[in-house]
């Protein structure tokens, strides 16, 4: 869908997903790295059979072509400027101020490239009192507020073990860039898209980031669930081979799921049939009116937890579908690797790397049909360092001899 557009991707590990999202939608994305390679190439994990290759970098440069360019060298900068003549987007994620030092910031480029959409990803944003703060996944998660809400109440708050903050920011960079493209269709002009990872992280709070300003109490962290107004709800339940996500509650939003759970408990003989007469949608109102037993629902919850404890994740998933329950297995990485659902949808994609290895990647983030035709992800393998220098610099009209000279002089 985005095949008419070219992206010059100057990001490092912090923004590298943004360009890939556009590449998977058809854009021509050129990852530009310093001569020694991006710092992203040193981010863990590394391939078991190629310990010199970062899986992280491969994961998010799949679908792009790659060139090297020394932006601190005037000749390198000149080449980049020539490349930008054919570009619609530039995406960067360097420390705030670095692009200005190189003379490659938005303010400097806007007159020469008035149609260019220039997207910056940073921890806190391009300007403001924290613009020069050092960012990291953990600090950003703390600043955006989700970190304080996550964890057990008797230990320190805890993050997700695969860092997330820059991924959210990269997703916003892709969306913001597309909005700027539509703006360009209206005005003929590009603009600067300024993404703050702190703001992106705030999305991971279910709008609880607004709690104080609305006059509501902050949610408190509790066992993968939440504690609010003193009421603690654990987010998971133990099953025979791990955990399930189990959120069972009365009320208008989810009470019908609880009714279905009661039906299952009665069917397996774990609860008495009389419970089928209880409508858990209206239960809370009836308790408030003194017409239902406040101890009833906690008892149903106990029966439910005991019933699931002897069953497996897979059994509970099947039961959940059969009875329309609000529960799901907590799948681990091994489960995902073997998931029949993902297999059925063709999620795993094998891609041949430049060195001949066949590497399995997660497939498309979305399954897209254009005019009824199925689209796939961009199956271009992650580029080796400078792999497409000849091709892309050749496009600028440089002869092979000139490219060799720039290479030997250390500009590319």
**Binders of another protein among 307-326, rule CB under 8 A?**
317, 320-321, 324, 326
The region of 69-77, 272-280, 285-293, 364-372 touching another protein under the rule CB under 8 A is 364-372
- Distance of closest approach, residue 125 Cβ to another protein, in angstroms: 6
Tokens describing residue 308: 């699931």
Can you tell me which of 74, 128, 294, 400 binds another protein, judged by CB under 8 A?
A: 128
Q: Which is nearer to another protein, 325 or 411 (CB)?
A: 325
Q: Which is nearer to another protein, 281 or 296 (CB)?
A: 281
66 scored as a contact of another protein (CB under 8 A): no
User: Nearest-CA neighbor of 321 among 260, 271, 242?
Assistant: 260
- Distance of closest approach, residue 277 Cβ to another protein, in angstroms: 22
146 scored as a contact of another protein (CB under 8 A): yes
Q: Which is nearer to another protein, 16 or 79 (CB)?
A: 16
Q: Which is nearer to another protein, 46 or 75 (CB)?
A: 46
**What sign results for the dihedral spanned by CA atoms 33, 39, 42, 44?**
negative
Of 170-199, binders to another protein (CB under 8 A) are: 171-176, 178-183, 185-187, 189, 191-196, 198-199
Tokens describing residue 40: 């992203």
215 scored as a contact of another protein (CB under 8 A): yes
The region of 223-231, 264-272, 392-400, 404-412 touching another protein under the rule CB under 8 A is 223-231
Residue keyed to tokens 């239902």: 292
CB 240 within 8 A of CB 312: yes
Q: Which is nearer to another protein, 79 or 351 (CB)?
A: 351
- Distance of closest approach, residue 49 Cβ to another protein, in angstroms: 7
9 scored as a contact of another protein (CB under 8 A): no
Rounded-to-integer distance, Cα 64 and Cα 23, Å = 7
Of 233-292, binders to another protein (CB under 8 A) are: 235-236, 238, 242-245, 247, 251-254
Phi, psi of 320 (to 5 degrees): -60, -40
User: Nearest-CA neighbor of 358 among 58, 32, 22?
Assistant: 58
Q: Where are the beta strands (DSSP E) in 55-153?
A: 65-68, 89-92, 117-122
Rounded-to-integer distance, Cα 131 and Cα 196, Å = 9
Coil vs helix vs strand at 40: helix
224 scored as a contact of another protein (CB under 8 A): yes
User: Nearest-CA neighbor of 153 among 81, 227, 251?
Assistant: 227
Tokens describing residue 75: 């000749």
Can you tell me which of 274, 333, 401, 408 binds another protein, judged by CB under 8 A?
A: 333
131 scored as a contact of another protein (CB under 8 A): yes
- Distance of closest approach, residue 136 Cβ to another protein, in angstroms: 4
Rounded-to-integer distance, Cα 18 and Cα 119, Å = 10
394 scored as a contact of another protein (CB under 8 A): no
Can you tell me which of 81, 82, 136, 311 binds another protein, judged by CB under 8 A?
A: 136
C-alpha 292, offset from chain centre: 44
* Interface mask toward another protein for 72-111; x: CB under 8 A: ----------------------------------x-----
Residue keyed to tokens 């039906």: 263
Tokens describing residue 213: 């300003």
- Distance of closest approach, residue 116 Cβ to another protein, in angstroms: 12
The region of 14-22, 270-278, 392-400, 403-411 touching another protein under the rule CB under 8 A is 14-22
Per-residue DSSP letter, 67: E
Coil vs helix vs strand at 65: strand
Rounded-to-integer distance, Cα 253 and Cα 4, Å = 45
Q: Which is nearer to another protein, 332 or 409 (CB)?
A: 332
55 scored as a contact of another protein (CB under 8 A): yes
Residue keyed to tokens 């796939």: 376
Can you tell me which of 35, 100, 270, 342 binds another protein, judged by CB under 8 A?
A: 342
CB 89 within 8 A of CB 174: no
63 scored as a contact of another protein (CB under 8 A): no
Rounded-to-integer distance, Cα 100 and Cα 335, Å = 46
User: Nearest-CA neighbor of 175 among 405, 355, 21, 1?
Assistant: 21
The region of 73-81, 128-136, 269-277, 288-296 touching another protein under the rule CB under 8 A is 128-136
Coil vs helix vs strand at 221: coil
């Amino acid at each position: 869908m985005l095949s008419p557009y070219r992206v010059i991707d100057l990001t490092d590990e912090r923004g590298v997903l943004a360009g890939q999202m556009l590449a998977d939608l058809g854009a021509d994305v050129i990852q530009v790295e310093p001569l020694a390679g991006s710092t992203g190439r040193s981010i863990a994990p590394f391939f078991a059979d190629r310990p010199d290759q970062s899986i992280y970098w491969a994961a998010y440069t799949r679908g792009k072509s790659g060139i090297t360019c020394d932006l601190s060298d005037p000749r390198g900068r000149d080449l980049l400027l020539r490349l930008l003549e054919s570009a619609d987007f530039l995406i960067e994620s360097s420390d705030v101020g670095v692009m200005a030092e190189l003379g490659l910031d938005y303010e400097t480029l806007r007159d020469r490239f008035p149609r260019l959409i220039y997207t910056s990803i940073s921890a806190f944003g391009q300007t403001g009192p924290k613009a020069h703060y050092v960012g990291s996944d953990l600090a950003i998660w703390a600043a955006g507020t989700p970190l304080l809400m996550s964890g057990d109440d008797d230990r320190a708050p805890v993050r997700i073990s695969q860092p997330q903050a820059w991924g959210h920011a990269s997703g916003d960079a892709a969306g913001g860039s597309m909005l700027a493209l539509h703006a360009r269709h209206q005005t003929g002009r590009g603009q600067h898209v300024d993404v703050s990872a702190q703001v992106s992280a705030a999305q991971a709070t279910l709008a609880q980031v607004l709690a104080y300003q609305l006059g509501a109490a902050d949610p408190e962290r509790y066992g993968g669930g939440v504690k609010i107004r003193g009421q603690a709800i654990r987010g998971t339940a133990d099953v025979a081979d791990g955990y399930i996500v189990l959120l069972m509650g009365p009320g208008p939003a989810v009470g019908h799921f609880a009714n279905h759970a009661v039906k299952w408990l009665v069917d397996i003989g774990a609860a008495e049939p009389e419970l089928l007469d209880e409508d858990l949608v209206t239960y809370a109102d009836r308790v408030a009116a003194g017409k239902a037993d406040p101890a009833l629902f906690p008892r149903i919850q106990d029966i439910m937890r005991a019933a699931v404890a002897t069953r497996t994740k897979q059994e509970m998933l099947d039961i959940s579908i059969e009875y329309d329950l609000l529960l799901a297995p907590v799948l681990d990485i091994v489960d995902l690797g073997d998931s029949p659902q993902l297999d059925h949808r063709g999620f795993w994609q094998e891609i041949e790397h430049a060195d001949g290895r066949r590497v399995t990647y997660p497939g498309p983030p979305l399954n897209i049909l254009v005019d009824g035709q199925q689209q796939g992800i961009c199956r271009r393998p992650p580029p080796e360092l400078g792999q497409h220098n000849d091709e892309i610099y050749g496009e600028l009209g440089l002869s092979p001899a000139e490219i060799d000279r720039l290479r030997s002089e250390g500009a590319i």
